[in-house]
Amino acid sequence: GAGVSQSPSNKVTEKGKDVELRCDPISGHTALYWYRQSLGQGLEFLIYFQGNSAPDKSGLPSDRFSAERTGGSVSTLTIQRTQQEDSAVYLCASSLMGAAGELFFGEGSRLTVL
């Protein structure tokens, strides 16, 4: 595809359930990021993958959050035992290495935890 693709676009789940959010970056982009956007809170950095380097997990809010990137391409963000405060839009972005900060974002996955 031409852009960053995320699925599902909307997810409603019950508190305590696990969810998986998927990101398919732009072909050839070596860097992949996950951000969380909550109402009035801006974009909160979660995790960053760059090539074969160890991911920067410094933004993950708790050990219930994890992410992996398989084959240097598709990434999955997993939230275990979801809580109501996890409700937000989860945005994935990708970039070329050394692209001086230009991130290309997907349209996001809106997560609602009831």
Asked if 1 touches another protein (CB under 8 A), the answer is no
- Residue numbers 39-78 binding another protein by CB under 8 A: 40-45, 48, 50, 56
Interior/surface letters 32-52, b for 16+ CB within 10 angstroms, e for the rest: bbbbbbeeeeeeeebbbbeee
DSSP β-bridge partners for residue 10: 110
Residue 102 interacts with another protein (CB under 8 A): yes or no: yes
Size of the site for another protein (CB under 8 A): 26
Choice from 11, 65, 82, 106 touching another protein (CB under 8 A): 106
Report which residue type is found at 42.
G
Is the distance from CB of 94 to CB of 103 less than 8 angstroms?
A: yes
Q: Which residues bind to another protein, rule: CB under 8 A?
A: 4, 31, 33, 35, 40-45, 48, 50, 56, 91, 93, 95, 99-108
